[in-house]
Amino acid sequence: MTIKNVIDVQSGGTTQKKSISVTNDKVKLNTRYVDKLIEIHECSALEANEIGFIARFLIQATLPHSKPKLNEWSRKNGNLTMHMMAPSSVGLPYGCYARLLLVWISTQAIRNKSKLDKGIITEQDVRKLELGRSQRRFMEALGLRSSGGKNGSIVPLREQMRRLFKTTVSIMLAELNEEDGYICEDEMGARVADVSHIWWSTKYPERDLLSQSWVELSPKFFQLIIDKPVPLDMRVLRLIKRSPMALDIYCWATYRVSYLKRVTMIPWSGLMEQMGSNYADVKDFRRRFNDGLEKVQRAWPGLDATPSEKGLLIKPSAPQVPRKKKHKTEGY
């Protein structure tokens, strides 16, 4: 999806940017949204100091999009199977907030690993992630507005944090040797957090408290999320943060085009198996996927992916965040 034009109108000595048309000319975007798109197009994530990370296995197998009925969840993609389990009294993480939390956790873990390698912190501190002294500041770090009330963001975020920290994740890789029939299965299970300390005021979320809130990841989960992480543009995530499908598509496409060598048709059934949770059928999934893809391509017009009757036709293109250079992992 490409931006066609920006209309600058001189009014009283000041320049005002009006709405911009995008590809199908049906979508009119407000000025603030357009400014964000232009910033992404004109300045790379590296230059803008906006690089984040997500663990590869969280792209290969995704979380539920909506609230699951059970406290167990499995996703399979090729030889990888992810199984998640949470206490029935708490439930599994799901939706946009859980995904943004996992990106934040992955990014902070990568930063801490970099600090450990440089001798800035010790082994004892590398798995401890500071959440800040107020919920508002933490939510700003996630790109979220802090709002209370029945439809506010404060309570849902706290709920997703509680669900995520209490979840146990199991990753299994299976390899089949067709000649002799042997199957090799490697599995690692890990609770997300060993310890968490959250001391925020729900009544006054902007108030800084004397004590830091923090979460300490389990050793095995820490190893899982720092293993071959995929770089992301945090500005794109903030732009599509309201759609779990769009978040999944962006992360998946960023990873997929990094090694794509030829034009590939991916069947809808395969995409649905990987990220199509909670959908009635392939038709419903396809409609939601196309909506999410449109959101992603506004921010990433270079993504050459076209939906068809058979599936998604994706062509080799430049990654939205290049992986060739060693990314800076501190100070952004």
- Cβ count within 10 A of residue 168: 15
Answer whether 319's CB lies under 8 Å from 302's CB. no
- What pLDDT is recorded for position 21? 41
Q: Tokens 């921010």 identify what position? A: 299
Q: Looking at the structure, tell me whether residues 138 and 92 fall in a common domain.
A: yes
Answer whether 305's CB lies under 8 Å from 297's CB. yes
Q: Looking at the structure, tell me whether residues 7 and 65 fall in a common domain.
A: no
pTM: 0.85
Q: Looking at the structure, tell me whether residues 204 and 288 fall in a common domain.
A: yes
Q: Tokens 């800040």 identify what position? A: 132
- Measured distance CA(262)–CA(123) in Å, rounded: 43
Q: Looking at the structure, tell me whether residues 123 and 20 fall in a common domain.
A: no
Q: Looking at the structure, tell me whether residues 91 and 6 fall in a common domain.
A: no
Residue 131 burial by Cβ neighbours in a 10 Å radius (0-12, 13-18, 19+): buried
Which residue, among 245, 246, 256, 250, has the nearest Cα to 233 in the 3D structure? 250
- What pLDDT is recorded for position 19? 40
Q: Looking at the structure, tell me whether residues 101 and 170 fall in a common domain.
A: yes
- What pLDDT is recorded for position 10? 31
Give a yes or no: residue 330 inside a domain.
Answer: no
Give a yes or no: residue 304 inside a domain.
Answer: yes
Give a yes or no: residue 332 inside a domain.
Answer: no
Which residue, among 326, 303, 184, has the nearest Cα to 254 in the 3D structure? 303
Which residue, among 185, 156, 192, 167, has the nearest Cα to 55 in the 3D structure? 192
> CA angle, corner 100, sides to 73 and 109, nearest 5?
95
Give a yes or no: residue 324 inside a domain.
Answer: no
Q: Looking at the structure, tell me whether residues 215 and 242 fall in a common domain.
A: yes
Give a yes or no: residue 267 inside a domain.
Answer: yes
Q: Looking at the structure, tell me whether residues 135 and 12 fall in a common domain.
A: no
Give a yes or no: residue 174 inside a domain.
Answer: yes
What is the mean pLDDT of each successive set of 10 residues along the chain, which is 332 residues long? 39 38 50 86 90 94 92 89 94 96 97 95 94 87 84 89 96 81 85 91 65 92 94 95 95 93 93 79 92 94 94 92 59 36
**φ and ψ of 299, to 5 deg:** -85, -25
Q: Looking at the structure, tell me whether residues 9 and 109 fall in a common domain.
A: no
Longest dimension (CA), the chain: 80
Give a yes or no: residue 77 inside a domain.
Answer: yes
Q: Looking at the structure, tell me whether residues 156 and 210 fall in a common domain.
A: yes
- Measured distance CA(179)–CA(267) in Å, rounded: 29
Give a yes or no: residue 150 inside a domain.
Answer: yes
- Measured distance CA(23)–CA(14) in Å, rounded: 28
Helix, strand, or coil (residue 309): coil
| Full residue range of the structural domain in which residue 27 is found | 1-42
The CA R_g of the chain, rounded to the nearest whole Å, is 21
**What would the DSSP string read from start to end of 35-79?**
HHHHHHHHS-TTTTT-EEEE-THHHHSPPPSS--SSSEEEEEETT
- What pLDDT is recorded for position 280? 79
State how many domains the chain has: 2
Kind plus residue range of the DSSP H or E element containing 255:
helix 244-257
Q: Looking at the structure, tell me whether residues 235 and 292 fall in a common domain.
A: yes
Residues 6+ apart with CB under 8 A from 249: 275, 289, 292, 293, 296
Q: Looking at the structure, tell me whether residues 284 and 175 fall in a common domain.
A: yes
In the chain, DSSP finds a helix count (H) and a strand count (E) of: 10, 16
Answer whether 99's CB lies under 8 Å from 312's CB. no
